[in-house]
Amino acid sequence: MTNGSKNQVWWVRGLTLAALVLMIAAYFTPIWWVSLTAPNYPKEAFPDGIRIHFHFNGVFNGCKAPALKKGSHASEVLQADLGDDLTEREGMKAGESAETGLNCVHEMNTINHYVGMYPIDTGAPVEVPMSKFFFGFFAVLLLGFMATQRKQQLMILGAGFAAVTAWMVTDQIVLGHLNAFADHYYHEASTFFNQPEVLERWTANLKLATKAAMAGLVVAMLIIMLGVWKIRQFSLLLALVPALLPVFFVLDYAGWLWFFGHNMHPWGAFTVKPFMPTVFGEGKVAQFSTYSYPYYGYAILLAASAALLPAILIRRKMMREEQG
């Protein structure tokens, strides 16, 4: 191997390692944020509106309320709107953080309920518990891409895929986390939708779909092993698939927004025609202004993709030179 080829190898490995670190970091950060504002949620009480953060492994509270004094106008507004959710807040001293008692995921669920939308935690019920295994799968792909010899790639992929499969089966089936998540799904869905026979069917479908996703991931691993073994250029997919993660997220996010906006339930106090919620930018639903934008976790994902694209081009150039 010439010095030029060695330099190319190290560039590929360095860029891929950087992308791997960034991708793992993105898993633990908020990827997207959504906020609702309305006249009955004044800015002094809700500086960021009713805000939630989307992570790969769920949806989390994004509200940061100011420190409140008991009896203040902002405190009265919060108490009127959130009621028992402010129980913890009442004992706080002036100047202390008010964030503890403000759960904007619950508040947004309440708002959605009025127009017949399902609770937020019923969205992406397969993707959320499976996300850590998808990321493990992507990590193995990138480790395999860092190797230059086909035999090395197959060894890394085989060991890594076996580890991810064992982890997935142990976590979901042996330790019962699939059943635990199904119970959580049932509980969240039943908050506003109390039809046990329907919920039991939904929960059974969730378990079946998750097991199908697990099987599908194993099949994908086998296909990749076979592809790398038989086709030299196939190894470029080891980096290309993780590089497309920002695209996968937006497509999945938009798909679930469409589902929520087109599957209204008659429980709503207000009738709203089916609509497509805003994926990116600002929108309007009834008296609410909506905001939906990528957060810093999505920027980390884009940085990972930006590191992988030149690594793919360099590896492709190396392959062409080897063939020549």
Q: Where are the beta strands (DSSP E) in the chain?
A: 32-37, 50-55, 58-61, 281-285, 288-294
pLDDT value of residue 88: 41
Secondary structure class of 266 (helix, strand, coil): coil
Find, among 153, 126, 287, 134, the residue nearest to 231 by Cα.
153
Alpha helices in 147-195 (DSSP H): 150-169, 177-189
pLDDT value of residue 185: 94
pLDDT value of residue 82: 52
pTM: 0.87
In a structure prediction context, what are the per-residue pLDDT tens digits for the chain, which is 324 residues long? 566 678 899 999 999 999 999 999 999 999 999 999 988 888 887 888 999 999 999 999 998 765 555 555 454 555 455 554 444 443 334 334 444 457 899 899 888 888 788 889 889 999 999 999 999 999 999 999 999 899 999 999 999 999 999 999 999 999 999 999 999 999 988 887 778 898 999 999 999 999 999 999 999 999 999 999 999 899 999 999 999 999 999 999 999 999 998 888 776 666 778 889 999 999 988 788 999 999 999 999 999 999 999 999 999 999 888 876
DSSP structure class, residue 86 = G
Find, among 289, 267, 269, 293, the residue nearest to 279 by Cα.
293
pLDDT value of residue 41: 84
- Note whether 244 and 305 are within 8 A (CB): yes
**Residue 206 CB-density burial (10 A; 0-12 exposed, 13-18 middle, 19+ buried):** buried
pLDDT value of residue 87: 40
Tokens representing 44 are 């002094």
pLDDT value of residue 299: 98
pLDDT value of residue 292: 96
pLDDT value of residue 69: 53
pLDDT value of residue 323: 78
